[in-house]
Amino acid sequence: MGAGTGRGVMFSGVMATAWVTATLVAVVAGVVGFHVVVRGATFAAHAVPMSAFAGAAGAAVLGVSAIAGLGVVSPLAALGVAWLGRRRRTDVASALVIVVMLGLGALFLSWTAEYSSQVYALLFGELLGVSTQELAATAGLAVLAVAAAAVLHRPLLLTAVLPDVADGRGVSVLAADLWFLLLVAVVTTMAVPVVGTLLMFSLMVGPPAAARAVARSPRATIAASVAIALVTVWSAIALSYVTDWPVGFFVGILGAAWYLAGRAAAALAARRRPGARRQPAALAA
């Protein structure tokens, strides 16, 4: 795709599919990313897509579609992280899962003919290679993910903010963690073929982290997070079209930029608040 070949091409054919797909991925990443950030689960949310790498690589070896491989391995990775991290050590569990699955993925890919192009596609996605069939699957998973996020919303919030109270009220923190990871697995399955494991992660963390600096309530934060994610992918596609650089590069850069902008805004807000505390508000006897 040459630089600046005109509007007609930028919004039609393969490009039209790319726009729609990217929009779906951004909405879902913005919604689910809210819970990633509120739970402080960025590492766990990294482990699932990274493991999915192995699933997609395995699918390549078997000659089945990447979505099928992702659909099987992502939930398994989610269960693995939840089970290994059931005593609230999800960081160690996540690290373990990432290392093992990355190794497996590399092994699987070495068995396929087109090693390097496959690796590249899984890490950074192939937005411009999305077929109509894949678009339908992506749309279905997007609806599922957003509906699940809505259904799980309140228990996910309660268990993230007041875990001891949640347990007392019969909302198991463990169950909520598991639901959350399965939700991440759904997002992974839909997003990895499109934006890749690395960029899906940056899309799921950058926008919501920036959003919570500008919005107050959960509702407003989710809305802002979706909006920022949309701006990110749209600009990334447009920039990629103009420069001929990979979409993934721009998604990554913009994700990081949003994150830093969010941190800066939060720091400024804190400085403006007289007597604001830098430490978490903690009550411990």
Partner 1 sequence: MSTVLSVEGVDVWLGGRHVLDEVGFEIAPGELTGLIGSNGAGKTTLFRVILGLLPAARGHVEVVGRPAGRPARAQVGYVPQKVALDPDVPLRVRDLVSLGLDGNRYGFRRRSRQRDEAVDAMLSAVGATRLADARVGTLSGGELQRVLIAHALVAQPPLLLLDEPLANLDLANGQEVVTLLAKLTKEQGVAVLLSAHDMNPLLPVMDRIVYVAEGRVASGTPAEVVRGEVLSGLYGHPVSVLELGGRVVVVAGDTGPTDLVTR
- Interface residue with partner 1, options 213, 229, 233, 254 (CB under 8 A): 213
- Interface residue with partner 1, options 4, 169, 257, 260 (CB under 8 A): 169
Report the alpha-carbon distance of residue 60 to residue 111 in Å, rounded. Answer: 9
Q: Indicate the SS3 state at residue 58.
A: helix
Q: How far is the CB of 256 from partner 1 (least distance, A)?
A: 18
DSSP state letters, 199-253: HHHHHHHHHHHHHHHH--SHHHHHHHHHHHHHHHHHHHHHHHHHH---HHHHHHH
Closer of 155 and 196 to partner 1 (Cβ): 155
Closer of 108 and 259 to partner 1 (Cβ): 259
Report the alpha-carbon distance of residue 157 to residue 142 in Å, rounded. Answer: 21
- Interface residue with partner 1, options 87, 113, 271, 285 (CB under 8 A): 285
Q: Is 23 in contact with 191 (CB distance < 8 Å)?
A: no
**Size, binding site for partner 1 by CB under 8 A:** 44
Interacting positions 26-55 with partner 1 (CB under 8 A): 34, 38, 40
Report the alpha-carbon distance of residue 129 to residue 7 in Å, rounded. Answer: 19
Binding of partner 1 at residue 2 (CB under 8 A)? no
User: Which positions touch partner 1 (CB under 8 A)?
Assistant: 34, 38, 40, 150-155, 157-158, 160-162, 164-171, 211-213, 215-218, 220-221, 266, 270, 273, 276-285
